[in-house]
Amino acid sequence: MITIEKVSSKKQLKSFVMFPFSLYENHPYWVPPLIGEEMETFDNNKNPALQTAEAHLYLAYKNGEIVGRIAAIINWNEVNLQGKKKVRFGWWDVIDEVEVTQALLEKVFELGKQHQLEHAEGPMGFSNLDKVGVLSQGFDFIGSMITWYNYPYYVSHLEQLGFVKEKEYFESNFSFDLVDPSFFVKVNDLVKKRYQLTPLNFTRTKDIMPYVDKMFDLFNTTYANLASFVAITDVQREYFKKKYIPFINPEYIKFIVDKNDTLIAFSIVMPSFSEALQKSKGKLFPFGWYHLLQARKHSKEVLFYLIGVAPEYQSKGITAIIFDEYYKTFKAKGITNCIRTPELEENHAIHNLWKHVDPRVTRRRRTYMKLINNE
């Protein structure tokens, strides 16, 4: 018999966070999160996303053992400001028994019905900077710190329960050694002169900080037209600024400004922390910090995390400047492999950025949707 319990104590929250560690124990492609950060994610006093969203966490038990987990989420900005009557679900992990998934998703539907919402969608987090999508292809590639990994049966569970694909995301790799810089080197100088643009490079995190607020403003503007987008709030940007920017090698953050020092483009690339996180087993101490710092400095693999260009500068060759700057940085650091993190299938502007580097799609992931019966 399957029983579902709502997480209501710190002990249960720890069990919620730790369940995937047993489900994927010694799995070669699963990348564990940092346990402390996962705990903070659901702390109302620490995660600003919970000021405009609510999350209800559930654990599934069978014969006294945990066999699944799920978070039922409402992003109230999405519901009230955008009029999307959606309840989200995320942090979903489960053994291969569809009845367990069904019991967990019933809790998501219950929350949706309580608030007269019309459909459920997931897996997804609170915002566009959270992890998204159930892996549907590419199970034999190592994950990353900003994606969820799952077994193939997850997709089967959702489809058996009547969920339909809502959004599709691509992830791809390209070998830096095979990148031909001739195209963007040539375009780079032309574009800079034509629009009087200047690339900004950094070696110290503190020099980046004055531009970070402008970057989030541009992020909100750049991605506003995507169907899934929910703008980052001022409080969230302060949280992300403190949580993530110091984690990134400053040489991997590139900004472009115009003649008035207005930010018109940005890109954030992260060193791959996947193997470091596997070694740390979710803990910073005693040796987790060392593994992460080593990866920050010496990883030969990088992830293109975010890239954005102001609408008025799109399709004008601005990314040639960004790629030229990265080419010089990566060449000096001996980077061998570049990974594109999940990009919406419908985001053609982003896909066009990469046509000159011959990317190979390695993984696909989806969100799934089902209508809620509010009778």
pLDDT in tens, 87-130: 999 999 999 999 999 999 999 999 999 999 999 999 999 987 78
What lies within 8 Å, CB to CB, of 315 at 6+ separation is: 349
pLDDT given at position 374: 62
- Strand 198-200 to 164-175 pairing: unpaired
Q: ∠ at Cα 35 (31, 40), nearest 5°? A: 125
Bond prior to 123 in cis (omega within 30° of 0): yes
Report the predicted TM-score, pTM, of the whole model to 2 decimal places: 0.91
Looking at the structure, do residues 61 and 78 belong to the same domain, yes or no? yes
> Which of 189 and 370 is assigned the larger pLDDT?
370
Looking at the structure, do residues 329 and 273 belong to the same domain, yes or no? yes
Looking at the structure, do residues 154 and 201 belong to the same domain, yes or no? no
pLDDT given at position 34: 94
Looking at the structure, do residues 203 and 131 belong to the same domain, yes or no? no
> Which of 128 and 265 is assigned the larger pLDDT?
265
Side-chain-facing half-sphere of 264: CA atoms under 13 Å: 25
Give the chain's domain count: 2
Residue 4 has pLDDT above 60, yes or no: yes
Distances (CA, A) of 245 to 40, 122, 237, 253, 353: 17, 27, 11, 9, 24
Using 50, 70 and 90 to split pLDDT, how confident is the model at 185? confident
Looking at the structure, do residues 213 and 147 belong to the same domain, yes or no? no
Least confident of 4-18, 44-58, 67-81, 243-257: 243-257
Tokens linked to 83: 């009029």
- Nearest Cα to Cα of residue 280 among 7, 17, 13, 36: 36
Is 279 within 8 Å of 272 (Cβ atoms)? no
Looking at the structure, do residues 279 and 142 belong to the same domain, yes or no? no
pLDDT given at position 181: 85
Is 362 within 8 Å of 141 (Cβ atoms)? yes
Using 50, 70 and 90 to split pLDDT, how confident is the model at 227? low
CATH assignment at residue 275 = 3.40.630.30
Looking at the structure, do residues 201 and 64 belong to the same domain, yes or no? no
Looking at the structure, do residues 150 and 179 belong to the same domain, yes or no? no
**Residue 260, amino acid:** N
CA 29/CA 141 separation, integer angstroms: 6
Using 50, 70 and 90 to split pLDDT, how confident is the model at 234? confident
Looking at the structure, do residues 11 and 156 belong to the same domain, yes or no? yes
Looking at the structure, do residues 233 and 272 belong to the same domain, yes or no? yes
Q: ∠ at Cα 148 (18, 54), nearest 5°? A: 70
Residue 347 has pLDDT above 90, yes or no: no
Looking at the structure, do residues 127 and 188 belong to the same domain, yes or no? no
Least confident of 1-15, 56-70, 276-290, 348-362: 348-362
Looking at the structure, do residues 181 and 289 belong to the same domain, yes or no? yes
Range of the domain at 269: 175-363
